[in-house]
């Protein structure tokens, strides 16, 4: 693992030496996130977001376990127990706002992390496994966030649960029994609320396990970097500690300022006011929307308004509702195939003129349009825009990326990371 010049763990403190001999945990940490992990010296702030995501996971687990001490997962009292946390529990308001906004900020961080991966082709060999595990983590996060949003048992909780479990009802033949099985009833109720709570508590620990695999896989080839040129010599790297612990620490400070500004001054800005109305199975909110981080995928779901039929005969092959469900899941599943769809040998978007244009003027605006349409009511012009954006979204990954990688003429790459940083391949004496 890692590079031959990686520093070896040599405990000075006798207690640590004792510990390390019996159980080499200190050595493990030293090699994972300490001075024993050499990292490309040119990492930009975009490389902070893995550590920030890890921070968010810990934040969510800590605040979540505390909330679970005061919350009651029963359809009769769940809504009131959340208000009890807000009004009666010491610092309960802080824990809940930190948890609710923590989820939003977790997604902000993870989206930047994923799109960093898109731009710098972090999914390419030899890092495919890191990417695949990352997509699994994202899917687990979506499931966890969805079930967490059901727990306060407000109107959006209830109707969100109904719409999302209804997606499974669109599956042919087994759909309706499957939906009843998932809910433990014919509509979201106590059984569904309880199992969502149980799974919402469990899944973050499954995510933590997947994160360990993600980091393990990362440490085999080592971190990627903004040039996409692999590490060649020791002068291309710096030890993770203290150089990047310091850089990540600074990034964490900036993150906390923005996050805490929301927690303290705009705690409900990212939520929906209807979730402060207790769940009512007999009255639908005028406009059901998921949390903002699901909007792009919700737009893809709703973009399919017509059935897939055999032309002229009018025989229905796939109904519109199922098409939407398939498209929504495919929108994420397509990420699994990225390492094999984008065959360009050059990783970094900085040296890929054509790819760069399609990234900034194709993929990014498309995601913004989908995001905007997903939060808007299902009427024109949003439906038409969602359809166009959905078409581009899939075309980008399945058609445009493979074509670009075969016709594009990349710009000249620096011969090493050191050259990219210093303008010369000779290691500077001042460089650490």
Partner 1 sequence: MATTGTEELSGIGSDEGASGDGVRRRDFIEIAAVSAAGVGALATLVPLVSQMAPSKDVLAESTTELDVSAIETGQAIKAVFRKQPVFVRNLTPAEIEAANAVDVGSLRDPQTLAERTKEGHENWLITMGVCTHLGCVPLGAAEGEPRGEFGGYFCPCHGSHYDTAARIRKGPAPLNLEVPEYTFTTDTTVVIG
Rounded to an integer, what distance in angstroms lies between the CA atom of residue 3 and that of residue 347? 21
Rounded to an integer, what distance in angstroms lies between the CA atom of residue 193 and that of residue 273? 20
Q: Is the distance from CB of 248 to CB of 48 less than 8 angstroms? A: yes
Q: In this structure, what token pair is assigned to residue 125?
A: 């060999």
Q: Which position among 81, 124, 235, 291 bears the catalytic label?
A: 291
Rounded to an integer, what distance in angstroms lies between the CA atom of residue 86 and that of residue 80? 10
Out of 139, 171, 180, 256, point to the residue binding partner 1 (CB under 8 A): 180
Strand runs labelled E in 159-266: 237-239
Q: Count CB-CB contacts under 10 A for residue 115.
A: 16
Nearer to partner 1, 287 or 343 (CB): 287
Q: Is the distance from CB of 320 to CB of 307 less than 8 angstroms? A: yes
Out of 281, 345, 353, 423, point to the residue binding partner 1 (CB under 8 A): 281
* Secondary structure letter of residue 234 according to DSSP: G
Find the binding residues for partner 1 in span 365-424 (CB under 8 A). 377-379
291 is catalytic: yes
The pattern of x and - marking residues 5 through 44 that bind partner 1 according to CB under 8 A reads ----------------------------------------
187 binds partner 1 (CB under 8 A): yes
171 binds partner 1 (CB under 8 A): no
Nearer to partner 1, 186 or 265 (CB): 186
- We find the least distance from the C-beta atom of residue 53 to partner 1, in angstroms, to be 31
* Omega within 30 of 0 (cis) for the link into 381: yes
286 binds partner 1 (CB under 8 A): yes
Q: Is the distance from CB of 156 to CB of 288 less than 8 angstroms? A: yes
76 binds partner 1 (CB under 8 A): no
Q: How many CA atoms lie within 13 A of 249 on its CB side?
A: 8
Q: Which position among 20, 236, 248, 342 bears the catalytic label?
A: 248
Out of 231, 288, 338, 420, point to the residue binding partner 1 (CB under 8 A): 288
Nearer to partner 1, 285 or 410 (CB): 285
Q: In this structure, what token pair is assigned to residue 314?
A: 């009018």
274 is catalytic: no
Q: Is the distance from CB of 85 to CB of 71 less than 8 angstroms? A: yes
Q: Which position among 124, 214, 247, 396 bears the catalytic label?
A: 247
Nearer to partner 1, 187 or 395 (CB): 187
* Cα separation of the two ends of the chain: 22
Find the binding residues for partner 1 in span 145-164 (CB under 8 A). 159, 162-163
Bridge-partner residues for 237, per DSSP? Answer: 40
Nearer to partner 1, 379 or 406 (CB): 379
Find the binding residues for partner 1 in span 297-316 (CB under 8 A). 305, 307
- We find the least distance from the C-beta atom of residue 314 to partner 1, in angstroms, to be 12
Q: In this structure, what token pair is assigned to residue 430?
A: 């001042």
247 is catalytic: yes
Out of 45, 181, 340, 361, point to the residue binding partner 1 (CB under 8 A): 181
223 is catalytic: yes
Specify the 3-state DSSP secondary structure of 378.
coil
199 binds partner 1 (CB under 8 A): no
Q: Is the distance from CB of 151 to CB of 73 less than 8 angstroms? A: yes
Residue with tokens 């990349």: 410
Containing 327, the helix (H) or strand (E) segment is helix 320-333
Listed residue (350, 343, 336, 347) closest to 401, CA to CA: 343
Nearer to partner 1, 195 or 232 (CB): 195
88 is catalytic: no
Q: Is the distance from CB of 385 to CB of 369 less than 8 angstroms? A: yes
Of 53-61, 62-70, 216-224, 277-285, which part binds partner 1 (CB under 8 A)? 277-285
- We find the least distance from the C-beta atom of residue 190 to partner 1, in angstroms, to be 8
Active-site residue set:
219, 223, 247-248, 291
Binding site for partner 1 (CB under 8 A): 159, 162-163, 166, 180-182, 184-187, 189, 191, 195, 281-284, 286-288, 305, 307, 319-321, 377-379
């Amino acid at each position: 693992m890692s590079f031959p010049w990686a520093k070896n763990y040599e405990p000075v403190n006798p207690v640590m030496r004792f510990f390390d001999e019996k159980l080499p945990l200190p050595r493990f940490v030293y090699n994972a996130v300490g001075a024993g992990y050499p990292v490309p010296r040119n990492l930009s702030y975009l490389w902070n977001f893995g550590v920030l995501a890890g921070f968010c996971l810990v934040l969510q687990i800590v605040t979540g376990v505390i909330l679970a001490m005061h919350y009651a997962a029963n359809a009769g009292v769940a809504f009131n127990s959340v208000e009890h946390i807000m009004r009666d529990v010491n610092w309960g308001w802080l824990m809940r706002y930190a948890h609710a906004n923590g989820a939003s900020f977790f997604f902000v961080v993870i989206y930047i992390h994923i799109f960093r991966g898109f731009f710098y082709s972090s999914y390419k060999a030899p890092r495919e496994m890191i990417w695949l595990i990352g997509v699994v983590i994202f899917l687990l996060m979506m499931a966890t966030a969805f079930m967490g949003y059901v727990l306060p048992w407000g109107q959006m909780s209830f109707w969100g649960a109904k719409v999302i479990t209804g997606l499974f009802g669109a599956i042919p033949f087994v759909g309706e029994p499957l939906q009843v099985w998932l809910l433990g009833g014919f509509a979201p109720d106590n059984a569904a609320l309880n199992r969502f709570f149980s799974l919402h508590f469990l899944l973050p620990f499954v995510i933590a396990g997947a994160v360990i695999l993600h980091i393990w896989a990362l440490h085999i080839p080592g971190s990627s970097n903004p040039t996409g040129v692999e590490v060649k010599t020791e002068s291309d790297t710096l030890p993770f500690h203290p150089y990047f612990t310091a850089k990540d620490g600074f990034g964490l400070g900036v993150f906390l300022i923005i996050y805490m500004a929301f927690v303290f001054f705009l705690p409900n800005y990212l939520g929906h006011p209807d979730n402060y109305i207790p769940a009512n199975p007999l009255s639908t909110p005028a406009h059901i929307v998921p949390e903002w981080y699901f909007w792009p995928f919700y737009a893809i779901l709703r973009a399919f308004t017509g059935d897939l039929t055999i032309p002229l005969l009018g025989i229905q092959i796939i109904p519109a509702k199922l098409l939407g469900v398939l498209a929504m899941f495919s929108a994420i599943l397509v990420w699994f195939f990225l390492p094999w769809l984008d065959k360009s040998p050059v990783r970094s978007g900085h040296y890929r003129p054509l790819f760069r244009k399609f990234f900034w003027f194709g993929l990014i605006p498309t995601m913004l349009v989908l995001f905007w349409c997903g939060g808007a009511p299902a009427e024109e012009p949003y439906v038409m825009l969602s359809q166009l954006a959905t078409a581009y979204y899939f075309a980008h990954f399945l058609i445009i990326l493979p074509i670009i990688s075969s016709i594009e003429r990349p710009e000249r790459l620096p011969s090493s990371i050191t050259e990219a940083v210093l303008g010369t391949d000779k290691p500077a004496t001042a460089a650490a």
